C-alpha cells in the first residue's frame, strides 16, 4: 500500500488536473483538503480515487476558507498538505493564505485560473496573478510558479512541496483552466530517481515530549501588540524572503541576445510566445521572448537586462494588466517602451502574437 505511486518514468497523455494529482502523490503529499470549483475539480476526483491506494487522505470541506485553514492545520501537524482552487474560491483562500504568509507556513496550493472578476467564466484566464502573488492583507511573501503546460504542472507541483518545506513560505502553482482541462503528452517520473532532493516535513505542533517539561511548548502567533513589534516581525520575514529569492527565482529566455522586440509573457501564453519567436525568426524578424517562471520572487533584474537591449517590449497576457504591473515594478528604470496586448479571460494564439510583433517592425 505504501509503494511508490510512480515507478521509474512513463510517457503519458493526461489532463493537467490529473498531472497535478500524480505529482502530489509523487511528492509525498499526505492529505488534500478541497472544495468543488471548476476547473480544478478533477484534481480532487483523481486524488480521491488514488489516495487510498497509497495511504493518503482527503477531506472535502464546507468551503474554501475551510480548505485553506485545514491545509494549514495539516502543515502544523507536520504533514505535506495541499489544496487547490480557482476564481471566487481563490478569493476566499486569501484569508488562510494571509495567515500562512505571516506565520511562514509551507502550504501548497494549485490555482487553475478562470475568468474574473466574480463568477465570470469557468474556462480560463490569467486574472488571478495579483491575487495569488499579493492577495489577502499581506506583503506578497509567497512563492508562485507559473506553469505553461502539463510537464510544468507535474514538475512544479513536486517542486512546490520541496520549496515550501525548505524555505517555509506559502507556495503556489499557478496554472489555468486550459492546462487543467487539455490533454497532451508528457513524462511522469519518480523524483528521487532523477536526483531531486525530497525535503521532509516537520511538525510545528505535537513534537515528542511534554511541553514545558521535556521541551518548550510551541506558542505560535500571528498577532502583535505594538507597532514596533510588527515592524520588526515583518522586516524579519522580508529579510528572509530576500535572502532566499536568488535561489528560488526561475526564468527562461528564448533568442533574446539580439532581439529588437522582446516578447514578455508567462504561463501558457509563454508557449504561444515561444511559438511566435520560432515563426518570426524563420521569417527574418529579430524577436526574442523572456518568460518569468516564478512570478514571486520576480526575476526583475534579469528581465530588465533583456529589456534594456531591445527596442520594444511587447507584453502579452490574458488579463487587463495584472502581469504588466509585476513587470513594470520589476524593471523600474528601464526606458524601453512597453506595448501591451491584453486579452482578459481569453486565450492568445501564436498567430495573434506574430501579427502584433510584426507591427513593431
Partner 1 sequence: MSVQPQMPAVWRTETKPHKFCPGCGHPLVLKALGEAITELGIQEKAMLGCDIGCSLLAWDLFNLDSVQTHHGRTVPIMVGIKRAKPEVITIAYMGDGGGYAIGSQHLVNTAMRNDRVTVILVNNIQYAMTGGQMAPTTLPGQKTETSPYGRDVEATGNPAQGPEMVAAITSEGAYVARGTVADVRQLKRFIKKALENQIAGRGFSFVEALSLCPTNWATNAKETWRMVEEEMPRFFKVGELKVPGEKKEG
Partner 2 sequence: MAKGAKITIAGEGGQGVQSVANILSEAAYEEGFESLYIPNFGPEQRGGVSVAYVQIAEDSIGSPKFKTADIVIALSDRAVYRTRKYVGPQTVFVYDANIKGVEDALPRNAGKVLAIPAIKVAKEELHPRVFNVVIMGAVIGATQVVSLEKAKAALEAKLGYKFEQDPSLRELNYKALERGAELVQGLI
Min dist. Cβ of residue 353 to partner 1 (A): 33
Min dist. Cβ of residue 349 to partner 1 (A): 28
Cell numbers given for 98: 494571509
Min dist. Cβ of residue 126 to partner 2 (A): 13
DSSP 54: G
Cell numbers given for 150: 502539463
**Residue of 327, 322, 48, 22 lying closest to 191 (CA atoms):** 22
Partner touching 324 among partner 2, partner 1, none, CB below 5 to 8 Å by kind: none
Choice between 38 and 48, CB closer to partner 2: 38
Partner touching 37 among partner 2, partner 1, none, CB below 5 to 8 Å by kind: partner 1
Interface stretch with partner 2, choices 70-78, 88-96, 135-143, 263-271 (CB under 8 A): 263-271
Interatomic CA distance for residues 106 and 77, integer angstroms: 12
Choice between 37 and 75, CB closer to partner 1: 37
Q: Candidates 49, 215, 235, 359: give the one binding partner 1 (CB under 8 A).
A: 49
The yes or no reply on residue 23 touching partner 2 (CB under 8 A) is no
Interface stretch with partner 2, choices 20-28, 49-57, 153-161, 347-355 (CB under 8 A): 347-355
Give yes or no for a contact between 146 and 209, defined as CB atoms under 8 angstroms apart: no
Count the residues of the shown chain that bind partner 1, applying the rule CB under 8 A.
20
Sheet of 81-85, strand order: 57-60, 31-34, 81-85, 108-113, 171-176, 143-146, 294-296
Helix (H, G, I), strand (E, B) or coil at 251: strand
Q: Candidates 80, 159, 266, 271: give the one binding partner 2 (CB under 8 A).
A: 271
The yes or no reply on residue 63 touching partner 1 (CB under 8 A) is yes
Interatomic CA distance for residues 137 and 154, integer angstroms: 30
Q: Candidates 50, 59, 99, 182: give the one binding partner 2 (CB under 8 A).
A: 182
Interatomic CA distance for residues 34 and 84, integer angstroms: 6
Q: Candidates 85, 147, 274, 322: give the one binding partner 2 (CB under 8 A).
A: 274
Cell numbers given for 176: 489555468
Partner touching 118 among partner 2, partner 1, none, CB below 5 to 8 Å by kind: partner 1
Return the residues of window 101-160 that contact partner 2 according to CB under 8 A. Answer: 121-123
Interface stretch with partner 2, choices 104-112, 177-185, 190-198, 286-294 (CB under 8 A): 177-185
Q: Is the dihedral of CA 25, 28, 31, 34 positive or negative?
A: negative
Q: Where do the DSSP E strands lie in the chain?
A: 9-15, 31-34, 57-60, 81-85, 108-113, 143-146, 171-176, 183-189, 251-254, 261-264, 287-292, 294-296, 312-317, 338-342
Cell numbers given for 273: 510566445
| Cis check: omega of the bond before 117, within 30 degrees of 0 | yes
Binding site for partner 2 (CB under 8 A): 13, 38, 121-123, 178-179, 181-185, 268-269, 271-272, 274-276, 278, 347-352
Q: Which residues bind partner 1 (CB under 8 A)?
A: 34-38, 41, 44-45, 48-49, 52, 58-60, 62-64, 88, 118-119
Amino acid at each position: 500500500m505504501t509503494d511508490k505511486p510512480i515507478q521509474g518514468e512513463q510517457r503519458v497523455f493526461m489532463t493537467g488536473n490529473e498531472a497535478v494529482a500524480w505529482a502530489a502523490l509523487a511528492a509525498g503529499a499526505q492529505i488534500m483538503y478541497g472544495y468543488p470549483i471548476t476547473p480544478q475539480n478533477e484534481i480532487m476526483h483523481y486524488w480521491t480515487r488514488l489516495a487510498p491506494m497509497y495511504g493518503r487522505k482527503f477531506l472535502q470541506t464546507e468551503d474554501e476558507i475551510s480548505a485553506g485553514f485545514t491545509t494549514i492545520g495539516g502543515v502544523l501537524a507536520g504533514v505535506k498538505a495541499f489544496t487547490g482552487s480557482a476564481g471566487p474560491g481563490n478569493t476566499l483562500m486569501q484569508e488562510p493564505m494571509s495567515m500562512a504568509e505571516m506565520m511562514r507556513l509551507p502550504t501548497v496550493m494549485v490555482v487553475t485560473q478562470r475568468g474574473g472578476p466574480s463568477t465570470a467564466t469557468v474556462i480560463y484566464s490569467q486574472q488571478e496573478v495579483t491575487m495569488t502573488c499579493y492577495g489577502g492583507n499581506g506583503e506578497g511573501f509567497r512563492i508562485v510558479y507559473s506553469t505553461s503546460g502539463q510537464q510544468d504542472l507535474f514538475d512544479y507541483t513536486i517542486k512546490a512541496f520541496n520549496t515550501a518545506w525548505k524555505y517555509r513560505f506559502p507556495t503556489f502553482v499557478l496554472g489555468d483552466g486550459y492546462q487543467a482541462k487539455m490533454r497532451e503528452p508528457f513524462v511522469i517520473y519518480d523524483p528521487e530517481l532523477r536526483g531531486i532532493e525530497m525535503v521532509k516535513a516537520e511538525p510545528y505542533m505535537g513534537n515528542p515530549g511534554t511541553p514545558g517539561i521535556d521541551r518548550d511548548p510551541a506558542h505560535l502567533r500571528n498577532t502583535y501588540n505594538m507597532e514596533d513589534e510588527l515592524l520588526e516581525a515583518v522586516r524579519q520575514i522580508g529579510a528572509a524572503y530576500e535572502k532566499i529569492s536568488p535561489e528560488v527565482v526561475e526564468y527562461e529566455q528564448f533568442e533574446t541576445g539580439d532581439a529588437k522586440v522582446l516578447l514578455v509573457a508567462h504561463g501558457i501564453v509563454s508557449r504561444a510566445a515561444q511559438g511566435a519567436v520560432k515563426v518570426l525568426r524563420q521569417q527574418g524578424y529579430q524577436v526574442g521572448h523572456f518568460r518569468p517562471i516564478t512570478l514571486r520572487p520576480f526575476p526583475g533584474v534579469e528581465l530588465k537586462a533583456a529589456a534594456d537591449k531591445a527596442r520594444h517590449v511587447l507584453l502579452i497576457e490574458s488579463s487587463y494588466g495584472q502581469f504588466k504591473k509585476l513587470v513594470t515594478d520589476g524593471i523600474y528604470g528601464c526606458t524601453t517602451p512597453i506595448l501591451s496586448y491584453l486579452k482578459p479571460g481569453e486565450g492568445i494564439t501564436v498567430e495573434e502574437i506574430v501579427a502584433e510583433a510584426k507591427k513593431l517592425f
